[in-house]
Structure 1
Amino acid sequence: MRKKRVMLLSEGFGSGHNQAAYALAASLRRLCPGISTRVFELGKFLNPRIGPLIVSAYRKTVSKQPKVVGLMYRSNYEKSLNRFTQLALHRMFYTHTSQVISQLKPDAIICTHPVPNAVVGRLKRLGLNTPLYTVITDYDAHGSWINQEVNKFLVSTTVVRDKLVDRGVAPSRIEVTGIPVHPDFWTRGDRQEGLRHFGLKDMPTVLVMGGGWGLLYEDELLEYMTQWRDKVQLIFCVGQNEKVQEEMQSNPIFNHPNIRIMGFTREISKLMDIADVLVTKPGGMTCTEGMSKGIPMLFYHPIPGQEEENCEYFVRNGFGEVLDSKATIDKWFTMIQEHQTAEQFRSQLLARRNQQYDPAACTQAVLRFLQ
């Protein structure tokens, strides 16, 4: 009997969609080694010249004009991708999608972005019989995710489920599983081992992340954190933004033994094990990883739209706080000076996580579908 095959399709409009696909693929192989998985960033794979240019343009808009992104998000909030848009996308980027599917013969297709979700939906209307599962990677339900050909929506919370139901999706086609994270985030690792691994000091530590694109804005609050550098170890992760990394490394404010500036890394899980507080933009994946680790989070500069909804969810449920003043920094940076207090708070967050979120639930749901 051949292995079950799962094709996971994403797009590069924000790193979280790809992260979710790779996390789910790794989790499926972890829980069931007999499964074969393939992940595709579909536009980049099928059109390697034009696809990255569109993603680059989107990235520049996010960094330079986030309000425009928010306006676009809100103006189309209730709308699914219409048939004309689906057809145009298919002809522009995905004319070979059906050929790829025919060649790989997957037993299931999982989409972690609305665009490939719409394209596969169109193929299903044209006769494709492969089950389509859609993982919504935020704590909101934008209309672009909705597709009548989806066999099952896997969503983060009951709030997202209810929003889909309000838009006509049958409850039987929705399962609340939480957003998938890589198995490395399922449990908290050994802090001392992580400190040794990175060559860091055993002292209160704050991890500052700008997302996969490294969108760290010039912000007085981020610079204010450096005033704590004699008492707090600061780790700045700027992702793939080499320009920001070079600017920070050449800035005397960040030149201190207790400050580490890092570019892209695949070891965020280990860094979260070390950190006492996570300062981050409220992307759905990063926040879910932080929640899974039980680390308190401070959210800065949410992009208007889904990041605002993500931020609201985690603040409302006690996993974080909006970083809107120097007083907020002083409050949290003072609290983590008391190691026992910080550990007790983290234990409380892990208990709260266990009540609301099972990191393996999404993967287990997919395995049930494949039986």
Structure 2
Amino acid sequence: MHKKRVLLLSEGFGSGHTQAAYALAYGLRELDPSVQTRVIELGKFLNPVLGPMIVNAYRKTVSKQPKLVGIVYRRQYKKSLNRLTQLALHRIFYTHTSQVINQLKPDLIVCTHPVPNAVVSRLKRLGLDVPLYTLITDYDAHGTWTSPEVTKYLVSTPLVKKKLTDRGISEDRIEVTGIPVHPNFWHTHDKPELQSQFELKPMPTVLIMGGGWGILYSDNLLEYMTRWRDTIQLIYCVGNNDRAREKMLSDPIFQHPNIRILGFTREVSKLMDVSDLLVTKPGGMTCTEGLSKGIPMLFYEPIPGQEEENCEYFIQNGFGEMLDSTATIDKWFKLIQEPYASVQFRRNLLTKRNQQYNPTQCSRAVLQLLQ
């Protein structure tokens, strides 16, 4: 019997796109071990030297000129990638994409980033006969995600579906599945066991995340949080930002028994379970992971564009609040020290989550489409 093969294509412009691809791949195999999956960051795979250079340039632009990123995002908001752009991308970076697809022989291609989505769309116009599913990994629908060749769009919310239908895309090509998270986020771990595993104290705990690139908030508010270190346990997770980690480790302000500074870790699901509050940039993936855990979130410095839209969605739906002052820190750090209030708030979030989000839904939807 032929085993179904799913090829998931992403790009490294922010860690969330590839995380979503891996989450979907893991979810598919969790539900049906016979499904074969392959995740590829296409640009890096085809151009191992040039690809990472372009991603690094984008990373620097995001961190140093976020307003420019926002301007470009809004100017192109309603525009899909035109055929000339698709041709240029294919000729310069993606000339061997068809060979990769022919070699792997997938029954289905899922793209979690607009660029491979555009490249595969062009190949379909040239005769590629493989269904193309586009997993939009934010709570917005930028025009670059859209293409007539897309078989089905998998989207986070009914609002994103409406944004696509407003652009003339028929409803039967759109399915609201939520953004997939790794199966580790499907289940809750035992808190005392986690406290023992991570050598943490049984006290109110805040997890501060800088995303995969480790872009943290302004030094002033980072330092202000440490004023609570005698009563609040602080876990700073700075991802791959080794410079920020070394700087913080050498700073006396962060040298305290109730402060932990971590680099890249694969234990985020456990760290969310052991924490009472998440402080994070509003990337679509991290926010969805927080949603799946029912942890209250404070959002800082959204990148203009998609992160602003992510932020708006989660705030409007009561899953978080914008971190814009020390007063916000004081409010939430006091709340999580009140056991009844903290537990009740999290229960309310889990009830909302169950009404709006099922972490297995995206994987189940793709399995059904494979039948």
Which TM-score bucket, shorter chain as reference?
A: over 0.9
Q: Unaligned stretches of 5+ in structure 2?
A: none
Q: Which letter does structure 2 place at the counterpart of 1:42? A: L
Stretches of 4+ aligned residues off by more than 4 angstroms: none
Deviations 1:240-293 (A, max 9, x none): 010111111111111100000000001000000000000000000000000000
| Matches of 1:196 and 1:24, distance apart in 2 | 30
DSSP 3-state at the match of 2:23: helix
| Matches of 2:153 and 2:188, distance apart in 1 | 29
Match runs of 1:267-278 below 5 Å: 267-278=267-278
Matched with 2:56 is 56
Query: CA RMSD for the aligned pairs?
Result: 0.7
Q: Unaligned stretches of 5+ in structure 1?
A: none
Q: Which letter does structure 1 place at the counterpart of 2:45? A: F
Q: Which letter does structure 2 place at the counterpart of 1:111? A: C
| Matches of 1:321 and 1:187, distance apart in 2 | 25
| Matches of 1:252 and 1:167, distance apart in 2 | 54
Matched with 2:238 is 238
| Matches of 1:320 and 1:232, distance apart in 2 | 19
| Matches of 2:2 and 2:254, distance apart in 1 | 54
| Matches of 2:2 and 2:341, distance apart in 1 | 52
Matched with 1:104 is 104
| CA deviation after TM superposition for structure 1 residue 359, in Å | 0.7
Match runs of 1:134-153 below 5 Å: 134-153=134-153
| Matches of 1:168 and 1:119, distance apart in 2 | 22
DSSP 3-state at the match of 2:150: coil
State yes or no: 1:288 paired with 2:288. Answer: yes
| Matches of 2:268 and 2:86, distance apart in 1 | 36
Q: Which letter does structure 1 place at the counterpart of 2:51? A: G
| CA deviation after TM superposition for structure 1 residue 348, in Å | 0.8
Match runs of 1:191-210 below 5 Å: 191-210=191-210
| CA deviation after TM superposition for structure 1 residue 218, in Å | 2.8
State yes or no: 1:330 paired with 2:330. Answer: yes
DSSP 3-state at the match of 1:80: coil
Deviations 1:95-137 (A, max 9, x none): 1110111111000000000000000000000011110000000
| CA deviation after TM superposition for structure 1 residue 187, in Å | 2.4
Contact in 1 for aligned 2:217/2:300 (Cα 8 Å): no
Q: Which letter does structure 2 place at the counterpart of 1:223? A: E
Matched with 2:82 is 82
| Matches of 1:260 and 1:171, distance apart in 2 | 47
Matched with 2:263 is 263
| Matches of 2:184 and 2:48, distance apart in 1 | 30
Which shows bigger deviation, 212-221 or 125-134?
212-221
| CA deviation after TM superposition for structure 1 residue 325, in Å | 1.1
DSSP 3-state at the match of 1:291: helix
| Matches of 1:51 and 1:363, distance apart in 2 | 29
Deviations 1:215-237 (A, max 9, x none): 01333122110000000000000
Match runs of 1:1-371 below 5 Å: 1-371=1-371
| Matches of 1:299 and 1:93, distance apart in 2 | 35
Size of the alignment, in residue pairs?
371
| CA deviation after TM superposition for structure 1 residue 89, in Å | 0.6
Q: Which letter does structure 1 place at the counterpart of 2:258? A: N
Deviations 1:67-111 (A, max 9, x none): 111111111111100001100111111111101111110000000
| Matches of 2:187 and 2:332, distance apart in 1 | 23
Deviations 1:134-176 (A, max 9, x none): 0000000000000110100000011110111111111110001
| Matches of 1:71 and 1:257, distance apart in 2 | 43
| CA deviation after TM superposition for structure 1 residue 326, in Å | 1.0
Q: Which letter does structure 2 place at the counterpart of 1:17? A: H
Q: TM-score, normalised by structure 2?
A: 0.99
| Matches of 2:40 and 2:161, distance apart in 1 | 26
| CA deviation after TM superposition for structure 1 residue 189, in Å | 1.5
| Matches of 2:350 and 2:24, distance apart in 1 | 21
| CA deviation after TM superposition for structure 1 residue 2, in Å | 2.5
| Matches of 2:132 and 2:55, distance apart in 1 | 24
| Matches of 1:69 and 1:194, distance apart in 2 | 39
Q: Which letter does structure 2 place at the counterpart of 1:15? A: S
Deviations 1:316-345 (A, max 9, x none): 000000011111111110111122321111
Contact in 1 for aligned 2:17/2:112 (Cα 8 Å): yes
| Matches of 1:11 and 1:193, distance apart in 2 | 36
Q: Which letter does structure 1 place at the counterpart of 2:32? A: C
Deviations 1:49-78 (A, max 9, x none): 100000000000011111111111111111
Contact in 1 for aligned 2:22/2:182 (Cα 8 Å): yes
Aligned identity (percent) is 72
Q: Which letter does structure 2 place at the counterpart of 1:267? A: E
DSSP 3-state at the match of 2:74: helix
Contact in 1 for aligned 2:44/2:52 (Cα 8 Å): yes
| Matches of 2:341 and 2:228, distance apart in 1 | 19
Q: TM-score, normalised by structure 1?
A: 0.99
